[in-house]
């Protein structure tokens, strides 16, 4: 087992913190550089499937995250509906059996608490070497490490610096997210409602609140004076409890973000002893709910591989395993977004008819397969 390395992690998001916690637990000296002045998370709710928990278990973090999450969704009817409330398809229980929900801020806090005290350097940006050498440059000067993990998001400065950036693209739709604060009837269903160029999703959270999200096909960069009112205007006439969920959310707490993903994946996730992880490597649309899960898998894969053999061999296997795993999910997620956002009457009508004609079991099989993950074995 490789022990005692000095490792830099750039970015204190979910992927970066998971990597830092796992690597620290294995005895490495980890420093996390975060350019923001605080380590808090922006966002609303988040869902994690069984693959994410298998990865968390592999590095000793699974129980910590289970304790702050809920598996209630597994007991609800889940699938896709039309705006009038009729079901287009119901997923089998196997497709959602491992799904757990939680607030993104709670997940972020739990991961940050698993990182050793003093390892987080907030308000400190770090730049990587273009040749991938394990050194970083900060405002205080250069520091040398044995390995650099770059988890600095979809617009990764490190990816660009390493010459691996192939562009970011607008997915064609914007998204709103919110978490209820006022009482609202607990949903008996979960999943998404698909309209024409619009979708709305409902996810119960552990504390009785409800996380909801909405999407609309529109030009990038749009904004409204009151985003909650904008959501109510678009979705308030859809089936219950959609309007109730939005009305039970404070206006200032409704977030709006245009959805982007990588235009193409990098040809490699490594350069020298610098590694891309999470959105920096494979930012995908949220349509399969796997963005955070794949970042967690990245972190666990890297941590486990560094227990086996030399660094160069571990990095080469990480690159091969993670590119093979994330590429099809990245492609499928983008395709799912395009299908879900179909706006023409003919296109949306054909989509809905196909969903009604497809058995739920057939729809669930790819989801079940995607949720399988095992830690890499020693070679």
Is 77 inside a domain boundary? Answer: yes
Distances (CA, A) of 93 to 77, 96, 224, 379: 8, 6, 38, 36
pLDDT digit string, tens, across residues 164-209: 999 999 999 999 999 999 777 767 788 899 999 999 999 988 888 8
| CB 113 within 8 Å of CB 100 | no
Nearest to 249 by CA among 183, 337, 303: 183
Distances (CA, A) of 121 to 19, 36, 49, 152: 15, 9, 30, 14
Is 141 inside a domain boundary? Answer: yes
Angle at 283 between CA 334 and CA 63, to 5 degrees: 110
| CB 36 within 8 Å of CB 124 | no
pLDDT digit string, tens, across residues 330-345: 999 999 999 999 999 9
Is 202 inside a domain boundary? Answer: no
Question: What pLDDT score was predicted for residue 39?
Answer: 67
Question: What pLDDT score was predicted for residue 350?
Answer: 97
| CB 10 within 8 Å of CB 145 | no
The pLDDT averaged over each successive group of 10 residues in the chain (379 residues) is 86 97 97 87 86 98 96 86 96 91 94 95 96 96 97 98 97 97 78 97 89 97 97 97 95 96 98 98 97 98 93 97 98 97 97 95 93 92
Question: What pLDDT score was predicted for residue 221?
Answer: 96
Neighbours of 302 (CB within 10 A): 28
| CB 214 within 8 Å of CB 234 | yes
> Alpha helices of 4-87 — where are they, by DSSP H?
14-25, 50-58, 62-66
- CA atoms in the 13 A half-sphere facing the CB of 167: 5
Residues 63, 107: Cα–Cα separation, whole Å: 12
Q: Which domain holds residue 326?
A: 6-169+261-370
Is 232 inside a domain boundary? Answer: no
Q: Which helix (H) or strand (E) holds 6?
A: strand 6-10
Is 159 inside a domain boundary? Answer: yes
> Alpha helices of 169-265 — where are they, by DSSP H?
227-235, 242-247
Question: What pLDDT score was predicted for residue 186?
Answer: 66
Is 16 inside a domain boundary? Answer: yes
| CB 89 within 8 Å of CB 358 | yes
pLDDT digit string, tens, across residues 339-375: 999 999 999 999 999 999 999 999 999 999 999 999 9
Per the structure, the count of domains in the chain is 1
Nearest to 139 by CA among 277, 33, 38: 33
- In eight-state DSSP terms, residue 80 is E
| CB 125 within 8 Å of CB 266 | no
Q: What is the CATH number of the domain that holds 31?
A: 3.50.50.60
> Alpha helices of the chain — where are they, by DSSP H?
14-25, 50-58, 62-66, 93-96, 104-113, 157-161, 227-235, 242-247, 279-282, 291-305, 311-340, 345-357, 360-370
Question: What pLDDT score was predicted for residue 66?
Answer: 96
- Write down the residue that tokens 């079991």 correspond to: 361
Distances (CA, A) of 8 to 12, 145, 274, 329, 350: 11, 7, 9, 28, 50
Is 348 inside a domain boundary? Answer: yes
Distances (CA, A) of 70 to 86, 246, 356: 26, 21, 29
Is 355 inside a domain boundary? Answer: yes
List 193's β-bridge partners, or say none.
Answer: 81, 200
Residues 29, 3: Cα–Cα separation, whole Å: 9
Burial 113-136 (b: 16+ CB within 10 A, else e): ebbeeebbbeebbbbbbeebebbb
């Amino acid at each position: 087992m490789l022990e005692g390395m000095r490792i830099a992690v750039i970015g204190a998001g979910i992927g970066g913190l998971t990597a830092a916690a796992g690597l620290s637990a294995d005895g490495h000296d980890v420093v996390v550089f975060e350019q923001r002045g605080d380590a808090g998370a922006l966002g609303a709710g988040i869902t994690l499937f069984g693959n994410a928990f298998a990865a968390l278990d592999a590095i000793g973090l699974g129980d910590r995250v289970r304790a702050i999450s809920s598996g209630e969704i597994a007991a609800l009817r889940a699938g896709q509906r039309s705006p009038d409330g009729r079901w287009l398809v119901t997923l089998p229980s196997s497709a959602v059996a491992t799904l757990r929900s939680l607030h993104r801020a709670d997940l972020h806090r739990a991961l940050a608490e698993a990182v050793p005290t003093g390892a987080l350097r907030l308000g400190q940006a770090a730049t990587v070497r273009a040749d991938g050498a394990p050194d970083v440059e900060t405002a205080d000067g250069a520091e040398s490490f044995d390995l650099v993990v770059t988890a600095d998001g979809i617009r990764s400065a490190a990816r660009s610096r390493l010459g691996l950036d192939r562009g970011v693209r607008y997915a064609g739709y914007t998204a709103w997210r919110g978490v209820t604060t006022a009482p609202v009837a607990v949903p008996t269903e979960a999943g998404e409602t698909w309209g024409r160029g619009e979708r709305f999703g409902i996810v119960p959270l552990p504390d009785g609140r409800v996380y909801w999200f909405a999407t609309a096909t529109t030009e990038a960069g749009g904004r409204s004076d009151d985003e909650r009112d904008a959501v109510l205007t678009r979705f308030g006439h859809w089936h219950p409890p959609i309007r109730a969920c939005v009305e039970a959310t404070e206006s200032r707490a409704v977030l709006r973000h245009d959805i982007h993903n990588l235009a193409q994946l990098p040809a490699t996730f490594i350069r020298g002893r610098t590694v891309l992880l999470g959105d920096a490597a494979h930012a995908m649309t949220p349509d399969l709910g796997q963005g955070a899960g794949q970042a967690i898998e990245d972190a666990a894969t890297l941590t486990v591989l560094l227990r086996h053999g030399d660094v160069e061999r571990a990095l080469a296997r990480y690159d091969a395993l993670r590119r093979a795993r994330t590429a099809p999910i990245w492609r499928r997620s983008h395709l799912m977004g395009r299908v879900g956002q179909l706006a023409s009457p003919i296109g949306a009508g054909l989509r809905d008819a196909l969903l009604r004609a497809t058995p739920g079991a057939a729809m669930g099989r790819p989801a079940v397969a995607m949720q399988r993950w095992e830690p890499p074995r020693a070679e």
